[in-house]
Amino acid sequence: MSQVPSMRYDARYPGIADLKRRAKRRLPNFAFDYLEGGIDDEQAKRRNRQAFHDVHLTPRYLRDVSTIDTQVTLFGTQYALPFGVSPVGLGDMLWPGAETALARAAQNARIPYVLSTFSTTPIESIAKAALDVCWFQLYVPRSVDILEDMIARVKHAGFRALVVTVDIPVGAKRNRELRNSLKLPFTLTPQMAWQSLTHPTWALQTLARGAPDFVNVARYRTDTSQALSDFISSMTIPGLPVERLRKIRELWDGPLIVKGLQAEENFRTAIDCNVDGIIISNHGGRQLDAAPATIDTLRSLPKDIASQVTVMIDSGVRSGLDILRGKALGAQAAFSGRSFYYGLGALGAPGATQVIDIFRDELTRSLMQLGCLRFEDLDSSWLANSSG
């Protein structure tokens, strides 16, 4: 339960856009561009944001809003707030120690933290830092042996949910990364070395921590003559067949979530495979520039689908109000990737908590402003006519 929120965070950076501006200054260009980049002309990324702006809600006054309930129950677990951290690969390249800082902040705030397959911190360390709230994101390996081993490790470590990402049937060609010669594993070009030297806080902390590496998957590279980057790109399945999703359902008996679906026929197939949840996502506009904004996909989701699985959303969430816009259209929770990394880039480890505090503050104030006492009660009846 929240009362009128007091501003506990650094008010010099009151919104996600303020953190982004500072992160751009503090991160070397190649790191900022990796975070910020979308695919092609980056129209899908822009569309995601615009579509959130276009959802209008009508406030209801003449009611007591002194106590607000922001909790949400997802897959039988109660979370203090209805938002979480999307999986982001190579997190520690963006900010040294980012993944651990985010996991700890998420545990303290009791919000879901989704660890990427391509994280730079071991599965087991993150499970310790965020035992009650950690979810694991899986890029599905081609090899069934690797798949079985990864799921066994995630289960053994105590992860609460498995998130299967399906929207990378092919590696993306992102022009910002190509221009910066960003290659895996992380190798410094003279241009990158110069950018690092001119961003000393990032550089010193990266030096102290060591070059970021794909710690969770490196062990599966049996042919050591193969470059790690080639192994990584050959490791994952080029387009997930339905039978493989069914196999994952057999191997994982906890909450199973599919991330990245956009077409109605795919939602129906996922339900047929007995998944528990879906995250409507276009990977933050990083895969297909013609992809619809996720809030538009959510708006057109047939009602019977929403009644069979837990629906969540990401891609373009930048405020507490955006989380409410998603809820009014049927998303039980919202996630963001870039927002949290803007926080880390701007403020280092405390930036993780700053982003959570900003979202909490905006969400609580917006619920009060809307006259909705419980997040879970916010529904389409709050949508202004033009937004439904």
Residue bearing tokens 């241009």 = 191
d(CA 171, CA 232): 11
Cβ proximity to ligand FMN: between 41 and 379 the closer is: 41
Cβ proximity to ligand FMN: between 2 and 13 the closer is: 13
Cβ proximity to ligand FMN: between 339 and 364 the closer is: 339
Q: Which of 260, 255, 287 is nearest to 75 (CA)?
A: 255
Cβ proximity to ligand FMN: between 314 and 357 the closer is: 314
What is the nearest approach in angstroms of ligand FMN to the Cβ of residue 49?
A: 8
Q: Is 327 in the site for ligand FMN (CB under 6 A)?
A: no
User: Which of 54-62, 206-214, 249-257, 279-287 is the region at the interface with ligand FMN (rule: CB under 6 A)?
Assistant: 279-287
3 state SS of 357: helix
CB 113 within 8 A of CB 107: yes
Task: Tell me which H or E stretch contains 265.
Answer: helix 264-272
- Within 6-45, which residues bind ligand FMN (CB under 6 A)? 34-35
DSSP characters for 28-86? -HHHHHHHH--STT-HHHHHHHHHHHT--B----SS--SSBB--EEETTEEESSSEEEP
Reply yes or no on whether 283 is catalytic: yes
Q: Is 337 in the site for ligand FMN (CB under 6 A)?
A: yes
What is the nearest approach in angstroms of ligand FMN to the Cβ of residue 57?
A: 20
Cβ proximity to ligand FMN: between 115 and 368 the closer is: 115
Q: Is 355 in the site for ligand FMN (CB under 6 A)?
A: no
3 state SS of 132: coil
Cα–Cα distances in angstroms (integers) from residue 309 to residues 79, 297, 305, in the given order: 18, 15, 7
**Among residues 87, 255, 277, 330, which is the contact residue for ligand FMN, using CB under 6 A?**
87
Residue bearing tokens 């077409």 = 263
d(CA 322, CA 18): 17
- Within 46-75, which residues bind ligand FMN (CB under 6 A)? none
CB 85 within 8 A of CB 335: yes
Q: Is 336 in the site for ligand FMN (CB under 6 A)?
A: yes
Residue 372 neighbours by CB under 8 Å, 6+ apart: 60, 378, 382
What is the nearest approach in angstroms of ligand FMN to the Cβ of residue 316?
A: 5
Q: Is residue 185 reached through a cis peptide bond, with omega within 30 degrees of 0 on the bond before it?
A: yes
Q: Is 84 in the site for ligand FMN (CB under 6 A)?
A: no
Cβ proximity to ligand FMN: between 359 and 373 the closer is: 359
**Among residues 29, 70, 86, 120, which is the contact residue for ligand FMN, using CB under 6 A?**
86
User: Which of 50-58, 87-95, 104-112, 345-353 is the region at the interface with ligand FMN (rule: CB under 6 A)?
Assistant: 87-95
What is the nearest approach in angstroms of ligand FMN to the Cβ of residue 281?
A: 4
d(CA 334, CA 70): 13
User: Which of 54-62, 128-136, 303-311, 332-340 is the region at the interface with ligand FMN (rule: CB under 6 A)?
Assistant: 332-340
Residues noted as catalytic: 283
Binding site for ligand FMN (CB under 6 A): 34-35, 86-89, 116, 118, 137, 165, 259, 281, 283-284, 286, 314-317, 336-339
